Amino acid sequence: MASPPLLTTPRCRLEPFGPDHLTERYVGWLNDPEVVRFSEQRHSRHDMGSCKAYAQSFTNTPHYLWAILSRDAALGHIGNINAYVDVHNKTADIGIMIGERAVWGQGLGAEAWIAVSGFLFRDLKLRKLTAGTVADNQGMLGIMRKAGMHEEARRRRQMLIEGREVDMIYVAAFREDVR
């Protein structure tokens, strides 16, 4: 994989995830129960080694990992976004973590998601983007809607979240459907 390109939005800068982003702050997000409440990361304890291994797992693959930085320098690195690209089928599955809780609900995740989607459709010429989340994750569902994604499938009572059975929702967008 070529290094992910720099992408910009009105309020964010997405840059290739590198050693400068591998900080205790980042590790802390992954160990914050509220940040990973709806993520399968909630089942693991993370440290600098596990985070470094994750970042290195993108090396020599067709996949991408960006750090999301707020243009507000006081906030800096606020999260990460990835795209797992299936080159043969011209698809990608996108995932995001906005770890900095101070910016939740401000639309920065959607800005980053739309920028990555644009790159994947326009520059990589992918035909379909997918993602998934649990039905309780209203923030993630909002990002997906803003990015023009639509529910494609639902696995009823698939996940256990805080002891409750919760549906898993899968969404998709096709290149020709996105403005």
CATH of the domain at 56: 3.40.630.30
pLDDT at 43: 80
Domain-embedded: residue 159: no
Beta carbons of 84 and 93 less than 8 angstroms apart: yes
Question: What are the backbone angles phi and psi of residue 65, rounded to the nearest 5°?
Answer: -140, 120
Split into its structural domains, the chain has a count of 1
Global pTM value: 0.95
Query: From CA 13, how far away is CA 15, in angstroms rounded?
Result: 6
Average the pLDDT over 38-57 and give the result: 92
Judge whether residue 178 has pLDDT over 90: no
Question: Across all residues in the chain, what is the average pLDDT?
Answer: 95
Average the pLDDT over 16-25 and give the result: 96
Domain-embedded: residue 166: no
pLDDT at 100: 96
Average the pLDDT over 88-112 and give the result: 97
Domain-embedded: residue 15: yes
pLDDT at 2: 63
Domain-embedded: residue 114: yes
Domain enclosing residue 74, as ranges: 7-127
pLDDT at 3: 84
Domain-embedded: residue 39: yes
Domain-embedded: residue 168: no
Average the pLDDT over 119-136 and give the result: 97
pLDDT at 174: 97
Domain-embedded: residue 1: no
pLDDT at 179: 58
pLDDT at 102: 94
Beta carbons of 11 and 100 less than 8 angstroms apart: no
Domain-embedded: residue 151: no
